[in-house]
Structure 1
């Protein structure tokens, strides 16, 4: 099972390397067609997109658009904890953003640029953006 996970994530990583505004629809379709069938794969997709967006801040808007679409297009999974909400792409993405900024003392510029791009795509709310900036003692 771990080999299948690694194979899928390697495929997705290679596909994401080709992401641009011109290739957007093809890249999105290829990732969806790989089949996100486990929570671990979904977590991996979130991490790959986040990491690539931070490193390639010229394409942050395209990565944010992909996140916006994946909120509705990728599957959710039941939580293993009783009474907890389903595990969704959006929940995992918000957790990734929070964890990244909680660990950071300002962080690389790419993280800020991607955060703003996610806000622009309406993936994150005004209040989430404000709280994140307040943790870093920044004005929102």
Structure 2
């Protein structure tokens, strides 16, 4: 479970969802600085683990039902200063779409070779390593 203190903002949990050698990314309607394309993510609610938050946020934002596989890592995001948790998830049912139009305006399944086009500032090392192992570009 992710520890949180009452004097800081709740942590953010991101879902790293791989299907058919691609990773799901979402485009925020309102970016945070130069952060526009991200993984499905949102605030960890009281009593919720990072893994549970990743599953819930994915459902709310994209309509995709996923299961948490493992916590990949945690860090303080260098651009937002927020505590971030990253959870590997596997799709169970549904098709990803913009389910929360107030927050998102697009979803995309991104190949390994395209990640830098969506996230030019690079990924958290632990997430990059996970995706390097999980994704293979097929011709």
Shared fold per TM-score greater than 0.5? no
TM (normalized to structure 1)? Answer: 0.32
Larger radius of gyration: 1
Higher relative contact order (CA 8 A, sep 6+): 2
TM (normalized to structure 2)? Answer: 0.32
> As a proportion of its length, which structure holds more strand?
2
> As a proportion of its length, which structure holds more helix?
1
